[in-house]
Amino acid sequence: MKQILSLSSFLIILNCFGQNALDFDGTNDVVQTTYEGVLGSTNRTFEAWIYVSADAPASNLAILDYGQNAVGSRNTFLVGGDRSLRYLSGGVDANIGTGADVIPEEEWTHVAFVLNSGTGYLYVNGVEEGTGSLTTVDTPSGEADMTIGQRVSGGSLPFYGIIDEVRIWDVARTSDEILGAMNTEQCMTEGLVAYYRFNQGVAGGVNIGVVSAIEEISGNDGDLNDFALTGLTSNWVLGADLEAAPSYSITNTFTECAGFSVTVGDNTYTTTGEYTDVFSGVLTCDSIIITDLTILPYGVNDVLIAECTGFSITLNGTSYDETGYYTDTLTAAAANGCDSIILLDLTIYEEAINDLVINECEGYSIIVNGTTYDATGEYTETVIGGGLGGCDSIINLDLTISDHIINDLTISECEGYTITVNGTEYNSTGVYSETIIGGAVSGCDSIINLDLTVAGPVDVTTTVDGLTITANNASATYQWIDCNTMMELPGETDQSLTVTENGDYAVIITEGGCSDTSDCITYTNVGLKEISQQSSLTVYPNPASENITIETANSGSATVSIYSLLGKVAIEQVYFEDIIALDIQDLPAGSYIIEVSQDDKKERHFFVKQ
């Protein structure tokens, strides 16, 4: 049975740590608190650790004070100029002191004052050193809050040395209580109403921003006035070497069955182990709860059964005959008194049916139940007792035997054509065969038979005879073109062309399905008189191999286009210069047309790329 235990409340006693103190320079250093003090004639106890400087003057050094400067109304706890310990309230039966030299210099000393029903007591290091009547002590309310290291108004008694662990109680502490606790930092204890540990800051460091002494009980913090807060004086320094307050520790031991859990604070424990939880309480001291947990396991029995159809098993009165995972619990049946759990993993096998789908290449064979199969088909074999659990096993074989894949490619192309088959390039007429291992979809070999015909080259040479241009290739078809416009000349499809006007002419020759274009032939004086207008463009050099320069007569933008003789645009760019430098290094060698469009006018020039 699952159980849950929660430990949500317990006694917290606090464990404190960290040891700093305040150094007072004997001039004007003072801690001004907001604590009003124990008032009236109520019993009270003052405690502190002090370290009187060897340079302190032979005058009174105030440890703390509060109230007003009137008879019976102040609470001045101080070290006398003769190094006695004193309590002064002013007037008859209001002042007590010890003998001289009970307070050493340059040595940590615990001091305490107790007012108990009108009688005062002074303790040094836990030992009573003085007593006297204080029946007129009656501290009024609404007067000066407590100061540390200086007295209230009425005189100046600055402390010269170090003060640590200032504790104010609204009860009269006994000598045994003072002696027993003086060397230990305090946790929450009945009657402790104000507590200044002075553990702030970095000892001897730069503490310019650490200007408040924390009061641990009710928040009556103190302001540090006139402290230098740097160096080894008038600053936070190392304090008295005190012990940390003892922590409260409790161990809870549990021995339970699986499913039990225990919660301590925010932590829940469910497995065997020893766990420690630390809780911070008032004054940041700690309480410790140790949980010693032993979780006893269930008695677990795993039953694994695999049988054929028709088998059944009975566990704890229940029969099982189907495949599945089942759990039965026998209450408190284990040897340790916990439940016993039976875990049944039951598998009921029917006839095992195995479907085999195999696709292989020619030459493959498989043996099933002693029979060899090497042809495409569907086959069934029964293996008696060959399944899991000794049940029969049925094998259904779907076998596909694939032949090699043969691909015939017949290609006719012009000169320059290249085809890559299985990593090999072919660019000449011939019959070729390539075998791609495993290249078919089935994973069988793929055979490619290539019948390649590469025609050409086409003879595009011409012969010029006056105004007649004749293609030298006599077994082709022809189309003459104007090189400047790249337009076909209507009706000019004979082997020869007779020029009737100036221009640049070429012929497109088609032979065996392949075409190529001849070089352009330029005519400049066919039946023309002197040109009446000069060209606005200058193109040079011509021929050119790397760069050409185009000079325009007009300013503004110009679109420059370069066409092959077949009309394909090779370069097209807009320029804004009168002199245009054009890079033609990437153009293949051959004849080209330059067209310059500017101000809605176009002008073409023929040039040759070497």
CATH of residue 466's domain is 2.60.40.10
Q: Is it true that the peptide bond before 246 is cis, omega within 30 degrees of 0?
A: no
Question: What phi and psi, each to the nearest 5 degrees, are found at residue 100?
Answer: -70, 155
What does the pLDDT read at residue 188? Answer: 62
| Strands (DSSP E) found in 70-158 | 76-79, 85-88, 95-97, 109-116, 119-124, 127-133, 144-148
> Is 232 inside any structural domain?
yes
The predicted-structure confidence for 310-328, as pLDDT tens digits, reads as follows: 788 987 788 888 889 888 8
> Is 412 inside any structural domain?
yes
Whole-angstrom distance, CA of residue 517 vs CA of residue 537: 27
Same domain, 553 and 419: no
What does the pLDDT read at residue 170? Answer: 97
> Is 10 inside any structural domain?
no
DSSP 491: T
Same domain, 326 and 207: no
Stated pTM of the model: 0.46
The predicted-structure confidence for 237-255, as pLDDT tens digits, reads as follows: 999 999 876 555 668 898 8
Same domain, 360 and 493: no
CATH code at position 35: 2.60.120.200
> For residue 73, which of 39, 50, 45 has the smallest C-alpha distance?
39
Whole-angstrom distance, CA of residue 58 vs CA of residue 303: 93
**401 pLDDT higher than 50:** yes
> Is 7 inside any structural domain?
no
519 by Cβ neighbours in 10 Å (0-12 / 13-18 / 19+) ranks as: middle
> Is 528 inside any structural domain?
no
Same domain, 31 and 92: yes
Same domain, 125 and 221: yes
Terminal CA-CA length for the chain: 100
The predicted-structure confidence for 21-68, as pLDDT tens digits, reads as follows: 999 999 999 999 999 999 999 999 999 999 999 999 999 999 999 999
C-alpha angle 93-97-98 in degrees, rounded to nearest 5: 145
The predicted-structure confidence for 551-560, as pLDDT tens digits, reads as follows: 877 777 888 8
> What percent of the chain is predicted at pLDDT more than 70?
90
Confidence bin at 141 (pLDDT 50/70/90): very high
**4 pLDDT higher than 60:** no
Same domain, 449 and 518: no
Confidence bin at 276 (pLDDT 50/70/90): confident
Same domain, 127 and 211: yes
Tokens representing residue 399 in the block: 């076998």
The answer to whether residues 159 and 58 touch, using CB atoms and an 8 Å cutoff, is: no
What does the pLDDT read at residue 389? Answer: 67
Same domain, 481 and 448: no
Number of domains in the chain: 7
> Is 531 inside any structural domain?
no
The answer to whether residues 506 and 518 touch, using CB atoms and an 8 Å cutoff, is: yes
Same domain, 272 and 176: no
What does the pLDDT read at residue 307? Answer: 79
CA–centroid distance for 203 within its chain = 38
Same domain, 76 and 149: yes
The SS3 call for residue 88 is: strand
| Mean pLDDT of the 371-388 span | 84
Decide which of 349, 367, 391 is a domain's last residue.
349
What does the pLDDT read at residue 604? Answer: 82
**534 pLDDT higher than 60:** no
> Looking at per-residue confidence, does 391 or 101 come out higher?
101
Report the chain's mean pLDDT, rounded to a whole number: 86
Same domain, 119 and 266: no
Decide which of 196, 212, 238 is a domain's last residue.
238
Same domain, 313 and 292: no
> Is 166 inside any structural domain?
yes
Confidence bin at 283 (pLDDT 50/70/90): low
What does the pLDDT read at residue 17? Answer: 37
- Can you give the residue range of the structural domain that contains 564? 537-609
